[in-house]
Amino acid sequence: MKYQYAHPEFFRDWESPDLKKCNGRIVLYGAGRRGSVAAHCLNKMGVEFICFCDSDRKKQGKEYCNHRVIAPDELADKYSDMAIIITTNHFYTVAEELRKKGFLHVFSSVSLFLEIDLEGYEMYSEEYTIRNIDQYFYSFIHYNENISYIPQVQIPVTMRCTLRCKECNSYIPYVKKAEDFEEGSIIFAIDKLLTAYDKIGNVLLYGGEPLLYPFLDRLIYNFSMNDRIEKVTIVTNGTILPNKALQEEMKSDKVLVRISDYGKLSSKKDELLFVLKEAGVHTEITDFKYWNKNPTVDVLNETEEQLREKVKNCCALANMITLIKGKIFFCGFSAFYDYFKAVPDFGDNYIDLLESKEQGENLRKKIENIRKMGKDGLPKQACRFCKFNNFEDDLPVAEQTKEHYEFKRIY
């Protein structure tokens, strides 16, 4: 299978390494999912690289894709004159640190990832790999204000779920009374967002469990019929089958159903996959190897330097907007902190599209101003209470709980 990024024009002027000249003198920074794809790309081109470098201590000293993983200190000591190709979403942060240490040949993986021949790549499924590469490109786009494009808007449509995962990204164990979010408000907010931007790359509908949402077919129809929305993704846990009306809307070429494989917990995964494929629906199975602990809140009293470092490493840099009850947030964690009233309503990390009077260019200016989180290293107020740990722990996938959790009171 050949992968091609949908918008190569966004990166027409980006600097690329001369791979022939650098052959045998390359280090890949980031021994993760995208690092494995970069290694595959170089191998396809017949280009050798020396090793991986990664700041994660659990990876250092081990082998990944048949190459040793070294620490940043060893990189500085032995390979400062090599070409460093950064494979992580944190390109700007890593590149800045390397250049401060005197590295002169620092590149992104953009040129490697614009077109990928995935034949022979077996680390992850093709669908999952493509999604991760798309997300790599997402992380760059908001740094160029000339690009009128929102890579992804992720929308929890319901807080009802068939599972109760301890580390749920939507914090389901914290829910006291589950609710479905109002269909009209979701559509209105997306329509308003599109007055400010030319296109949205992907509208991702999740939950809770989105197949419990009674108006999911209407949302899929509305968004898939919109020429300015490129893709619609539904994320389900494999416990429910869609009705016929829902299957019909899912048949659109723009729709992808992503099934999270939680083993026995995804009790109808195989049947769901069969039904969707019989209906001609595009599907992806996401087979998680591990989960990470969701951050919660506390009074942390971090220094400004600690705050900036935390923000620079935050996954919010992946540039995916979260929409809850008409508000767009630029960090999924803070979206749920706000929803559960876990932090005060500072108002500096979201825009209420239902209440805002701005639209068009004025709305875009307002959005871009708030979107600078991480870009300028300045934390938002909610960041001061977020116990983000940079995903340093590997936990069991979809571990269930019967407990009801509550956020710590900080005000």
The tens digit of pLDDT for each residue in 125-146 reads 888 899 889 989 988 887 777 8
pLDDT for residue 392 = 67
Strand partners, 283: 257
pLDDT for residue 144 = 79
pLDDT in tens, 363-390: 999 998 887 755 555 678 999 999 987 6
- pLDDT higher at 390 or 106: 106
Q: What is the mean pLDDT of the chain?
A: 92
| Residue 315 pLDDT greater than 70, yes or no | no
pLDDT for residue 143 = 74
Q: What is the share, in percent, of the chain residues with pLDDT greater than 70?
A: 97
Using a CB cutoff of 8 Å and minimum separation of 24, what contacts does 128-135 make? 128/284, 128/285, 128/286, 128/287, 129/3, 129/33, 129/37, 130/3, 131/258, 131/284, 132/33, 132/34, 132/37, 133/3, 133/5, 133/34, 133/37, 134/5, 134/201, 134/202, 135/89, 135/318, 135/320
pTM for the complete prediction?
A: 0.90
CA 117, 118, 123, 126 dihedral sign is positive
Q: Using an 8 Å Cβ cutoff, are 22 and 28 in contact? A: no
pLDDT class of 308 with cuts at 50, 70, 90: confident
| Residue 283 pLDDT greater than 90, yes or no | yes
pLDDT in tens, 244-257: 999 999 999 999 99
H or E element, residue 334: helix 332-339
pLDDT for residue 161 = 98
- For the segment 133-162, the average pLDDT, to the nearest whole number, is 91
pLDDT class of 45 with cuts at 50, 70, 90: very high
